[in-house]
């Protein structure tokens, strides 16, 4: 199989390049968990990471790869936690980044959330999972349903029994999937209700200039699946317009040759939750911008005040409601405070970080939300050299902004009829409006 060949080559490529250690760091800069697969690496190696963090404007701007005299630090930021891995020799960074995301996804799947509290509350299971997911520095078992056979997810009853008997959550038998040619699916799966659900989630990354023209726009999309089907079903998922998709990345279960020839996703699915594909839509003319922003932000020369006036409205939302709208603005350092009036939602301004946050909520086209008022500057301070950028967050339910639509899902190999469902969500990624 193609994926086995590619995965084998990838592993061969890192045969001498292992992940030595992993540090989990919270937003306060505390290392609250560390795991070492080879020799112990001192926590002082994280000082290089903290230096880079201080230089970054916000958490998302911390470089994912940081070279140090003796190591490379490769990190991701998920759910207010930095996952920082320590590598001793050169390694393909995306290989490590993908593994770190897989670790975070596994914690989310096991504990319901990937938070510092959840990890601390389940620290024994966390170490057991890391021991199975990485063997001597090499990725080993990273599929969620295989891990769940190896290490049972935590329950209140199991925790009580383990504390009384001194037993652990580690299973006694090798997962059945590990012995088959379909290692991502365990054998003998049975459900009373057979269901297959797909979430098409798209994020828009865009930069809009002060005149409202699009400087850059790109859609990053994923299809997340929740499959609870008995036996060994063989599924085919087809799209109305599959040619939209660029740079498609597949789960190993997908038959790549069928996609190349027919643009159909054919696969025997893992059991439970997994990411089927991720993709990109980069053609500017295909990326519809769902909101517009009217803005007037001005600072007068030799004056201790300025004006702030921003209105947000829906643009091309195909009849769907834009909701969960939040605007964040990093105001210039000379700003002391802001006296604003919001026609909808509420705003906060932090005089220390100079961050203005306006929680708009849902936009109704009949009455567009507006935030305006006076900006107070330090007296005698020079006029800010440039206007701040507006960062917008939003969400649109039941819409894939690229126009991608699932056509049909067919199942072979089993005789029952499953429940099937598709949900579409569009949200803002890095969506910036320049003023």
CATH code for position 373: 2.60.40.1170
Q: For residue 66, which of 55, 78, 75 has the smallest C-alpha distance?
A: 75
How many secondary structure helices (H) and strands (E) does the chain include?
Answer: 8, 23
173 within domain boundaries: no
User: Using CA atoms, how far apart are residues 82 and 104, in angstroms rounded to an integer?
Assistant: 10
Please give the pLDDT value at position 6: 42
User: Using CA atoms, how far apart are residues 378 and 100, in angstroms rounded to an integer?
Assistant: 45
Residue 216's DSSP bridge partners are: 207
Band (329; pLDDT cuts 50, 70, 90) = very high
186 within domain boundaries: no
Instruction: Specify the 3-state DSSP secondary structure of 306.
Output: strand
Please give the pLDDT value at position 141: 81
User: Using CA atoms, how far apart are residues 100 and 116, in angstroms rounded to an integer?
Assistant: 16
Residues 218 and 80 in one domain: no
3 within domain boundaries: no
Residues 418 and 385 in one domain: no
Neighbours of 378 (CB within 10 A): 11
Instruction: Specify the 3-state DSSP secondary structure of 160.
Output: helix
Per-residue pLDDT tens over the stretch 342-359: 999 999 999 988 999 999
Q: Express as a percent the part of the chain with pLDDT over 90.
A: 56
Q: Residue 48: which CATH number?
A: 3.30.450.60
Among residues 118, 146, 165, the one where a domain terminates is: 165
Helices (H), 63-136: 93-111, 116-121, 123-133
Per-residue pLDDT tens over the stretch 112-152: 899 999 999 999 999 999 998 988 777 888 887 778 888 88
Residues 317 and 376 in one domain: yes
Q: How many domains does the chain have?
A: 3
170 within domain boundaries: no
Residues 310 and 413 in one domain: no
Residues 223 and 96 in one domain: no
211 within domain boundaries: yes
352 within domain boundaries: yes
Band (9; pLDDT cuts 50, 70, 90) = very low
202: DSSP letter: E
The mean of the pLDDT values for the chain is 86
Residues 300-319: what's their mean pLDDT?
83
Residues 222 and 110 in one domain: no
189: DSSP letter: -
CA 239 remoteness from chain centre: 24
Residues 429 and 337 in one domain: no
Residues 354 and 340 in one domain: yes
Residues 260 and 151 in one domain: no
User: Using CA atoms, how far apart are residues 41 and 21, in angstroms rounded to an integer?
Assistant: 7
Please count the CA atoms within 13 angstroms of the CA of 113 that sit on its side-chain side. Answer: 9
Per-residue pLDDT tens over the stretch 189-245: 899 999 999 999 999 999 999 888 889 999 999 999 999 999 999 999 999 988 888
User: Using CA atoms, how far apart are residues 308 and 329, in angstroms rounded to an integer?
Assistant: 11
282 within domain boundaries: yes
Residue with tokens 């490769």: 74
User: Using CA atoms, how far apart are residues 23 and 292, in angstroms rounded to an integer?
Assistant: 41
Cα dist from 11 to 17, 126, 227, 368, whole Å: 10, 24, 28, 54
Residues 22 and 148 in one domain: yes
9 within domain boundaries: no
User: Using CA atoms, how far apart are residues 170 and 150, in angstroms rounded to an integer?
Assistant: 6
User: Using CA atoms, how far apart are residues 29 and 171, in angstroms rounded to an integer?
Assistant: 35
Per-residue pLDDT tens over the stretch 412-429: 999 999 999 999 999 999
CA-derived radius of gyration, the chain = 25
Residues 29 and 83 in one domain: yes
Q: For residue 223, which of 235, 205, 237 has the smallest C-alpha distance?
A: 237
User: Using CA atoms, how far apart are residues 378 and 367, in angstroms rounded to an integer?
Assistant: 35
Please give the pLDDT value at position 266: 96
Residue with tokens 């389940």: 122
Residues 253 and 220 in one domain: yes
**Residue range(s) defining the domain that contains residue 358:** 291-397
């Amino acid at each position: 199989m193609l994926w086995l060949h590619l995965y084998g080559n990838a592993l061969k490529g890192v045969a001498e390049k292992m992940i030595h250690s992993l540090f989990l760091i919270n937003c306060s800069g505390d290392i609250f968990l560390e795991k070492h697969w080879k020799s112990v690496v001192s926590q002082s190696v994280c000082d290089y990471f903290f230096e880079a963090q201080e230089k970054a404007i916000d958490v998302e701007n911390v470089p994912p790869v940081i070279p140090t005299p003796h190591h490379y630090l490769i990190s991701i930021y998920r759910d207010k936690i930095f996952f920082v891995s320590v590598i001793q020799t050169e390694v393909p960074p995306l290989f490590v980044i993908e593994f770190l995301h897989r670790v975070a996804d596994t914690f989310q799947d096991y504990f319901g959330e990937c938070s510092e509290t959840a990890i601390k509350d389940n620290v024994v299971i966390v170490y057991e999972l890391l021991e199975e997911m990485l063997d001597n520095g090499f990725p080993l078992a990273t599929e969620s349903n295989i891990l769940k056979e190896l290490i049972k997810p935590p329950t209140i009853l199991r925790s009580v029994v383990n504390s009384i008997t001194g037993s652990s959550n580690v299973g006694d038998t090798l997962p059945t999937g590990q012995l088959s040619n379909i290692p991502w699916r365990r054998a003998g799966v049975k459900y009373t209700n057979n269901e297959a659900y797909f979430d098409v989630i798209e994020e828009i990354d865009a930069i809009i200039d002060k005149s409202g023209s699009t400087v850059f726009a790109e859609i990053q999309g994923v299809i997340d699946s929740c499959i609870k089907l008995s036996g060994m079903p063989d599924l085919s998922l087809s799209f109305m317009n599959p040619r939209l998709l660029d740079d498609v990345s597949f789960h190993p279960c997908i038959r790549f040759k069928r996609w190349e020839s027919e643009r159909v996703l054919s696969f025997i699915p893992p059991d439970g939750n997994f990411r089927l594909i991720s993709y990109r839509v980069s053609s500017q003319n295909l990326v519809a911008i769902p909101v517009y922003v009217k803005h007037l932000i001005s600072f007068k020369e030799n004056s201790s005040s300025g004006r702030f006036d921003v209105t947000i409205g829906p643009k091309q939302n195909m009849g769907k409601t834009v909701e969960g709208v939040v605007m964040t603005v990093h105001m210039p350092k000379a700003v002391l405070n802001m006296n604003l009036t919001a026609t909808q939602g509420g705003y906060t301004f932090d005089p220390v970080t100079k961050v203005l946050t306006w929680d708009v909520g849902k936009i109704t086209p009949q009455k567009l939300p507006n935030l305006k008022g006076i900006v107070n500057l330090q007296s005698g301070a020079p006029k800010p050299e440039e206007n701040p950028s507006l960062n917008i967050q939003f969400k649109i339910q039941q819409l894939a902004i690229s126009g991608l639509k699932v056509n049909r899902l067919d199942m072979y190999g089993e005789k029952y009829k499953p429940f099937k469902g598709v949900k579409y969500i569009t949200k803002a990624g890095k969506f910036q409006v320049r003023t």
